[in-house]
Each structure stands twice: as C-alpha cells, then as structure tokens.
C-alpha cells in the first residue's frame, strides 16, 4: 500500500577526524578512517561493499579504547543500513549510537545519532516523533555552528512539512524551509546537499503546480548529480523530472527522462523505481496514442509491482546468474579448446569439409523433427496453462463469494444506519479494503480499513482483520475506539508473528467510529486514515489520525488517541481508504488528492445518500479515464 510519493530524508556523511588520543594508536585510527572512507566511496555504487567496510571500521573501533570511534562507527552502520532500506538494523544502531553519545561530551556525535533516529521515525510515517529528534539535532548543529548539518536537518524538517502539504495543499512552509536548507547548503559548499535540496524543492513545486520553478530546480539538480556521479539521486531526479514534463505535456522529454531513470534503476537494482518508471512510461505512451507500447509497458509494471520485495524473485535471479556464469565459463573453455586445435583443423580442413556437410544435413533434419516435437509440446503446455488459469480464476471468484458472505450486507447495515452509502471498487476480483460494523445496545460501531496490498494478499489480511474485530468487540466487549485499535494492533502483531526478527510489515490503516444513538455523541480513533464530518451548516470537521498503522513498527508504539464529537441531526460522517485520493487521472495524469475529494463531498451537500454514491462512482471513473486503477477504493458515508 503506497502513501503519496517516496519521501527522501538525507543524513550527513560520517567524515572521521583524526583526534590525538593516548588510548588509540595512530595506526588504528588511520585504518578506521580508511575503512570509513571506503564505505562512503561505495555508498552510491556498491551497497555490499559499503556495508562490508562499515563493519570492518566498527569491528576495529570496538577493539580500541576510544568511545569516540566506537560511537562514530556504530552510527555509520546505521547510515549504511538505512541506505539499503534495512530499517530494523538501522534503528538498532542509531539507538545504540544515542546511548553511547549521551554518555560522552561530543555534541557532534549526539547530533548525528538524533538525526539517524529521526530518519527511522520519518521513513515509517511517524512525523511528529521525527520532528522532535530532528529539532534536537538542529539545536546542537546551531550551537556548534555546523552549516552543513543545519542544511541537512532543515531539509529533513522541510520534507516533513512537504508530507503535511500533501494533505493541506499549502506548500508555503515547506518551500520556505527548502529555501533555508538550500541557502545553508550553499554556505557549506556541500554539492551533495545542494542536489538533495534542489531535488526535493523541485518536487514540492511540481506537486503545487508551479512547473516552471519545478523544472528549473530539478534540471539544476540533475546537472550537479551528473557531474558528481550521484546515481541514486539521478534515479529519483530523472523520474520526477519526467513526471513534471508529463504534467506540461512535453511528452518526448518525459519519455526520455523516464527511460534514463529506468536504465539507472535497473543498473543499480532499485526495484521500486523500476516499477514507478514503467508506470510513468505506460501512462505517457497512452497519452500520445502509443497504445500497444503502453500496454506492453503496463505489463512490465504489473510484473514488477506484484513481485516487489519477493525473496523468490531474488533467489531466481541469483540462480539465473549462476547458470549464466557457468555457461559462460563453459563456452570460454570450449573456445580455448578450439584455439588449441586450430592447427589440426587447418590441416584436415579439406577432409572435414565433406563430413561437415553431412553433419549439417543431419542437424537440419534433426532440427526439423525437434521443432515439430517442440510445437506439439507447447500445445500441450498451453492447454495445461489454460486449465490452471481457469482453476486459479475459479478459486479467486470463490474467494470473492466467501469474502462477500463474511462482510456485512448493505441490508444489514441499513437496519442500523438507515441513511448511508458504501462505494467499494476493488482493484482486482477480491479486495484488501473492507468495512465492518456491529451494534451493542445504544452504541453503533463502524470500521473502514485499508489492508497492506490488494487482490488475494489484501483479501487475506481483510479476513484476519474481520475475525479479530469480532473477537475484540463482539466477544470481549471492548467498545471504546482507541482501546479497540490498541488491542487490534496487538492481535495483528501476534497473528502475523511480527517482531524485530521478522521482516513482515503487513497490517492495515483504518478509522473506527462509535456512535451513541441516544445522545449522538461520536467517539473516533484513527490509524493513518482520517475521518471527515460535514456538519448540517456545511462546515467540514477533520478528525486527524494517529500517524501509525495497525501492525508492527520498529519504534515504540504509542497508544491510539480518542476523539469525542457531539453530532447533530443531518451531519454526515465520511470514512475512506487512500485509493480514491491516490488514483491517477485527469488531463495531466495526476493524483486526485484529498483536497479535491473534500471539495467533491462539500459540493454534494443536500444530495441524497444514493445520489452521493452515484456521483462519487461517476467522478472516479471520469477522473481515471483510460488509466489503470492503482488500488482498491472504499468510501463510506453515514448520515445522522
């Protein structure tokens, strides 16, 4: 399940300074510096080598008596693991770095550890906690007058404001912070940080619709990244440069930039941006009428997107590589043999010529028979594949019937909420979005949830969620929304065996409302997804969510918040997944976004609930046009 675009949080490089210390030999210090430099040298080009040298530096530092070097190399490991997206290990090393740095007096180390730990919160969508640690680090950076660190941390805070602007559509604060970060980067003469500031600033302008400013920043960043060979930055920059060209309908430049980003993403095995670039190329080719090309590219996108982060794919690629290397070596051996026997071949060439003709004739005849046999085998295999596909389709369709039978029917909901609508548009046959409700005396509880993934994996998660809600609310009689979410998170983690040693990060985002039918008091708890209430007088009230999912996160989980609102007759409560707002479409192929969804709901003030359902469905299809639906869609409305 994807939330907006990928947001980048850059952390300062750990450049070691040789400090005189009676506790550590000059030779050891120089060797640690050498390993650290090697780790940074390979940071953009070879992550395995970068990690290898970081571990060597840390191992040698632990053998010294220098707390300074031990802490530095520990934080270095956090940075490298962050770069390769192993957030569990990165968080552990940053935590260790904070403990070590707070015992000492070196403020630079403490600032680095705070920044790394803040990154871990930010990358998991916990922006309030991230801002807390970024500001701690910023205070230290200003105290020690480190302009480079000020630039890095200010940009991280700008990235958090950029995430907020995605929902509010007010980009002024994040653009101001990007300008401050850029100015500090210029003062520190840090080209890498200048690239980062320009790239993120350009992305912000693009989302705001200021395309000229966006292209100016992005093209300058690409120019600098090309000069400095910053490949991971180029993947990101060229992709968003392509998207911005697409918004301005400069389709040829968009295609060129998408292809350049894709080539780098393939070269450096960035599977996320391979997926993003195939999607961008498919949409752009469709926009200019290259329908066959668009279809082929979409198939590539679908293949990668459906198999992202799959161990099986990684193992298969390694197997193919091994097979290729073996065949290559075998051919080299054969070539050596040919070279060794060259003289003999020349000597007996005339005699061998006649024999060669006979062999070729035999091979051609044998090839013809083999082709006939292969064609027959292919026909048999196609028949088997068709039968298996039918079996799979039948199984999925049966799963849909089971899912529909378990989830509440519209008639059942109408008995509890007479005026309501449910817009459910699965991306595939079965859905990862689901709704759930129950009634206990005067309390009416309704849930809208968005599970990790869509299709069959998402459907499995929805079944787990449905079962656990029944246990927690119906059987155990836990009726307060925040407590329900706390228990649901515990049970999800337990059911999926999640923890620090588990790579599973499955779960769900959801909103839960509990209405007292006698008093019209509404209690609300939200995990990542908000609840909107349009009052009878036309005002829109937003219940903001806690920025944490129902599932495992590597940081310490916080209890969910409880919100209480007094409703009046005629108020309408809206709940939804992110599928509607995240759908690409319109003239420029952009996301629908939450602000436009708010406007649509406000414009339907006075509509009957059935009319709202029809309008939402029609508006979604009109916006999507010929583009593919990217996620499950679920929007519900309940009128008091």
Q: What is the pLDDT of residue 372?
A: 55
Domain boundaries, the chain: 1-145, 314-402, 407-639
Provide CB contacts within 8 A for 432, sequence distance 6+.
1, 450, 451, 452, 453, 454, 455, 457, 458, 459, 461, 462, 632
Q: What is the pLDDT of residue 555?
A: 72
Q: What is the pLDDT of residue 386?
A: 55
In CATH, what number does 1-145 get? 1.25.40.10
Q: From residue 579, how far is each of 3, 108, 338, 594, 612 by CA, in Å? A: 10, 43, 61, 10, 17
Q: What is the pLDDT of residue 581?
A: 93
Give the rounded distance of the alpha carbon of 126 from its chain centre. Answer: 14
Q: What is the pLDDT of residue 454?
A: 58
The third-level CATH classification (topology) of the domain covering 407-639 is: Phosphatase 2c; domain 1 (3.60.40)
Q: What is the pLDDT of residue 343?
A: 44
Q: From residue 567, how far is each of 288, 289, 300, 545 by CA, in Å? A: 50, 50, 49, 19
**Of 572, 589, 576, 583, the residue nearest 619 (C-alpha):** 583
**Cβ atoms within 10 A of the Cβ of 454, count?**
24
Instruction: Return contacts of 209-214, CB within 8 angstroms, 24+ apart.
Output: 209/247, 211/244, 211/247, 211/248, 214/244
Which DSSP symbol is given to 546?
A: B
Q: What is the pLDDT of residue 15?
A: 39
Q: Which residues of the chain have pLDDT under 70?
A: 1-25, 44, 305-405, 453-458, 500-505
> Do residues 636 and 419 lie in contact, with contact meaning Cβ atoms separated by under 8 Å?
no
CA distance 628 to 614: 20
- Quote the pTM value: 0.49
């Amino acid at each position: 399940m994807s939330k907006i675009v990928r947001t980048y949080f850059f952390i300062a490089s750990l450049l070691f300074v040789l400090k005189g210390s009676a506790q550590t030999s000059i030779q050891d210090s120089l060797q640690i510096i050498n390993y650290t430099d090697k780790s940074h040298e390979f940071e953009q080009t070879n992550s395995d080598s970068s990690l290898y040298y970081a571990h060597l530096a840390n191992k040698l530092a632990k053998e010294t008596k220098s707390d300074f070097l031990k802490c530095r190399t520990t934080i270095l490991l956090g940075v490298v693991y962050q770069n390769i997206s192993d957030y569990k290990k990165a968080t552990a090393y940053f935590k260790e770095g904070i403990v070590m740095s707070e015992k000492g007096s070196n403020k630079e180390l403490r600032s680095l550890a705070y920044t790394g730990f803040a990154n871990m919160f930010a990358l998991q969508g916990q922006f309030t906690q991230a801002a807390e640690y970024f500001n701690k680090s910023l205070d230290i950076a200003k105290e020690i007058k480190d302009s480079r660190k000020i630039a890095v941390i200010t940009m991280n805070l700008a990235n958090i404001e950029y995430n907020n602007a995605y929902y509010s559509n007010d980009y002024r604060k994040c653009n101001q912070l990007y300008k401050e970060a850029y100015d500090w980067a210029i003062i520190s003469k840090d080209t890498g940080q200048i690239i980062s500031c320009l790239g993120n600033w350009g992305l912000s302008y693009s989302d705001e619709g200021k395309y000229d400013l966006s292209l100016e920043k992005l093209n300058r960043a690409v120019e600098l990244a090309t000069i400095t060979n910053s490949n991971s930055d180029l993947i990101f920059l060229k992709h968003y440069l392509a998207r911005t060209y697409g918004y301005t309908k400069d389709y040829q430049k968009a295609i060129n930039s998408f292809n350049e980003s894709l080539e780098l993403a393939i070269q450096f095995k960035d599977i996320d941006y391979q997926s993003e670039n195939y999607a961008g190329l498919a949409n752009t080719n469709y926009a200019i009428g290259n329908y066959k090309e668009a279809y082929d590219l979409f198939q590539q996108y679908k293949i990668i997107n459906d198999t992202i982060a799959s161990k099986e794919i990684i193992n298969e690629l390694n197997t193919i590589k091994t097979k290729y290397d073996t065949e290559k070596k075998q051919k080299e051996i054969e070539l050596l043999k040919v070279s060794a026997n060259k003289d003999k071949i020349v000597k007996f060439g005339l005699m061998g010529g006649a024999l060669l003709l006979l062999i070729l004739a035999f091979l051609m005849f044998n090839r013809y028979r083999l082709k006939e046999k292969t064609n027959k085998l292919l026909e048999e295999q196609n028949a088997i594949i068709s039968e298996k596909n039918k079996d799979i389709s039948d199984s999925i369709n049966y799963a849909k019937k089971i899912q529909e039978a378990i989830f509440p029917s519209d008639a059942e909901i109408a008995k509890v909420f007479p005026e309501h609508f449910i817009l459910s548009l699965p991306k595939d046959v079965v859905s990862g979005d689901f709704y759930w409700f129950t009634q206990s005396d005067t309390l009416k509880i309704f849930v809208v949830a968005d599970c990790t993934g869509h299709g069959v994996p998402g459907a499995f998660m929805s079944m787990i969620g449905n079962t656990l809600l029944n246990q927690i609310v119906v059987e155990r009689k836990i009726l307060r929304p925040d407590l329900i979410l706390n228990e649901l998170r515990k049970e999800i983690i337990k059911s999926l065996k999640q923890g620090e040693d588990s790579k599973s990060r499955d779960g769900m985002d959801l909103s839960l409302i509990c209405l007292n039918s006698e008093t019209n008091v509404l209690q609300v708890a939200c995990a990542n997804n908000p609840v909107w209430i349009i009052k009878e007088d036309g005002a829109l009230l937003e219940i903001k969510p806690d920025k944490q999912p129902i599932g495992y996160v590597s940081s310490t989980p916080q209890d969910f918040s409880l919100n209480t609102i007094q409703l009046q007759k005629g108020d309408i409560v809206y709940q939804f997944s992110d599928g509607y707002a995240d759908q690409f479409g319109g003239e420029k192929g952009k996301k629908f976004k939450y602000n436009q969804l708010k406007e649509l709901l406000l414009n339907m003030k006075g509509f009957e609930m059935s009319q709202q359902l029809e309008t939402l469905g029609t508006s979604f299809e009109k916006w999507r046009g010929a583009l593919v639906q990217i996620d499950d869609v679920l929007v519900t409305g309940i009128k008091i």
